[in-house]
Chains A and B, each alone.
Chain A
């Protein structure tokens, strides 16, 4: 109920050391030592540049942008799997990242065993998972499949399992990286119900998505990242409009001016996602 924001980024910059460095390997360390040292000293990729924003408690906030704009880096920084190079990040409450399909699951374990493993990896003790396992099983609604190994599941069923664990974690902040599109209609309806319930309870959502329709209907505000900087941070509808304008422009002119990125965004793929 406090006025303090759930998440606050203040002048956050994130640079990555060259990924190529780790692939030079021990061999390179010996045979090309000067190059190795040079690479280690100079980070070459700026993923986020002086980014500041606030997300209020209970808000549903979308992060949109072209590929390589810094969306996933933003989520990783919120989840505290990385440290910012410069600037500060403050978060309030228990953060739960909704894992990508299958991350944290093992194909040879049954659905039931995976629930325990996944719940623990996401921050619950075994006791807490067991207390909730009834609700989780109920929500996943996988019937007899729950005692079959995960490799027999379809992609949709795996996603249902993952979502079911995540929504029972009692998160204060839920991070979602483009996975809500899976599952059949009944399950999606359940998810939307659950999200509505979370919103009433004041859970904060941070969603990375290319689905502008979803951003318009579900999110209060959105932030458009462009080349690692905040291009726009406003009401969701306005930002979605601007994003579509930007994608249209990028589709015509593939080169992004002023970007310090090594990998260029792939506008064609972005447009395909939008149409899908």
Chain B
């Protein structure tokens, strides 16, 4: 019975995931290109803005941008999608009793797969700058995926559940994600903040975003900073799941 229940839950997540992926890639032949275009366009804009207009010179800035924007894209898209996911699937939630948590899980996996699909582009930019993937990837790639996924899912549970009760939350989330973007070292580096850089520890994703960048740039990973992200993940994921468990019985009557 337990084996069947586990198999069923895995099937639920993968069925929802393959739905999302199929829909994304079916609608347009350019599906894959579209998912790359947004972060690449942002990278171009910030490159021109910072190096030409503000005339700040940062070493390997195109790589800095690409190595930060793609992981960020996963965070931002998952958090935005999660906040609307229970309300958006109202028809299903009102009528069937499947575990609603799988919706949040599949949304975050969906964006994780898009991130993985964009890695060849990041590698392309790396090679252009003469940086090569190294042996650390074998260890850190899965570890960073796991940490970031845990944070994203934890936040997703909180926002998805609360949005059922406070419908305008999703609007606040959209604004919040934009602010959060500038509070995360995506378009700038940590040392540009000087003595204020310790404040970045309060941002759950700083450690993991910086670690991705270091990994893609062949630079040493700041393990202390990554530790803060791990700590945040350990706090956020159980708290988010607990909140969801507390609230999920009311979803069907409120969505």
Taking beta carbons and an 8 Å cutoff, which residues of A are in contact with B?
16-17, 19, 21-27, 29, 76, 79-83, 95, 97, 99-100, 102-104, 106, 108-109, 113, 116-117, 120-127, 149
A78 to nearest B CB, angstroms? 10
Given contacts A81-B97, A104-B92, A109-B19, 19 further A-B contacts (CB under 8 A): A17-B250, A22-B167, A24-B166, A25-B166, A26-B166, A76-B252, A79-B97, A81-B95, A81-B252, A97-B96, A99-B92, A113-B19, A120-B8, A121-B12, A121-B92, A122-B98, A124-B8, A125-B8, A127-B11
Q: How far is the CA of A19 from the CA of B97 in the complex (A)?
A: 21
Q: For residue B7, which residues in chain A have a CB less than 8 angstroms away from its CB? A: 125, 127
The count of A-to-B residue pairs whose CB atoms sit within 8 angstroms is: 98
In the complex, B227 has a CB within 8 A of chain A: no
Q: Which 6 A-B pairs have the closest CB atoms?
A: A25-B168, A103-B91, A81-B252, A120-B15, A26-B166, A126-B11
Interface residues of B in 8-67 (CB under 8 A from A): 8, 11-12, 14-16, 19, 22-23, 26-27
Does any Cβ of A come within 8 Å of B246's Cβ?
Answer: no
Q: List 21 A-B contacts (CB under 8 A).
A: A17-B254, A19-B254, A22-B165, A24-B166, A25-B167, A76-B252, A79-B95, A81-B93, A99-B95, A99-B96, A103-B91, A103-B95, A108-B26, A117-B15, A120-B11, A121-B15, A123-B98, A125-B4, A126-B11, A127-B7, A127-B11
Contact A22 B164 (CB under 8 A): yes
Interface residues in B222-255 by Cβ distance below 8 A to A read 249-250, 252-254
Q: In angstroms, how far is the closest chain B Cβ from the Cβ of A118? A: 9
**Are B23's CB and A80's CB within 8 A?**
no
Closest A-chain residue to B16, C-beta based? A117
Docked-complex contact A76 and B12, CB < 8 angstroms: no
Task: Output the least CB separation between B220 and chain A (Å).
Answer: 42
If A80-B97, A100-B91, A104-B96 touch, does A26 touch B169 (CB 8 Å cutoff)?
yes
Q: Which residues of B contact A104 (CB under 8 A)?
A: 91-92, 95-96
Query: Is B94 an interface position by the 8 A CB rule?
Result: yes
- Contact across chains for B166 and A22 when beta carbons are under 8 A apart: yes
The answer to whether A108 touches B23, judged by C-beta atoms less than 8 angstroms apart, is yes
Residue of A nearest to B90 (CB): A103
B93 CB → nearest A CB, Å: 7
Residue of B at shortest CB range from A126?
B11
Q: Which residues of A contact B252 (CB under 8 A)?
A: 76, 81-82
B192 part of interface (Cβ distance < 8 Å): no
How many chain B residues sit at the interface, stated as a range, is 20 to 34
- In the assembled complex, the CB of B30 is this many whole angstroms from the nearest CB of chain A, namely 15
Instruction: Note all chain A residues with C-beta closer than 8 A to B94.
Output: 76, 81
Could you say which of A25, A80, A83, A108 contacts B27, with CB atoms under 8 Å apart? A108
Q: Is the CB of B254 within 8 A of A113?
A: no
Q: Which of B92, B169, B253 makes the CB contact (< 8 A) with A25? A: B169
Residue B1 at the chain A interface, CB threshold 8 Å: no
In residues 63-122 of chain B, which contact A (Cβ within 8 Å)? Answer: 91-98
CB neighbours (8 Å) of B95 from chain A are 76, 79, 81, 97, 99-100, 103-104
B138 at the interface (CB under 8 A from A): no
The closest CB in chain B to the CB of A107 belongs to B23
Closest residue of B by beta carbon distance from A43: B253
Most chain A CB atoms below 10 A, which of B93, B96, B249? B96
- B172, CB-defined interface residue at 8 Å: yes
Q: Please give, as numbers and ranges, the residues of chain A lying within 8 Å of B27 by CB-CB distance.
A: 108
Once the chains bind, are B22 and A113 in contact (CB under 8 Å)? yes
Question: Of B11, B12, B165, which contacts A21 at CB under 8 A?
Answer: B165
Give A29 to B91 CA distance when docked, in angstroms. Answer: 26
> Would you call A26 and B172 a contact (CB within 8 A)?
yes
Residues of B within 8 A of A109 (CB): 19, 22-23, 26
- Residue-wise, chain B 158-170 has the 8 Å CB interface mask toward A (1 for contact) of 0000001111110
With CB as the reference atom, state the residue of chain B lying closest to A75.
B95
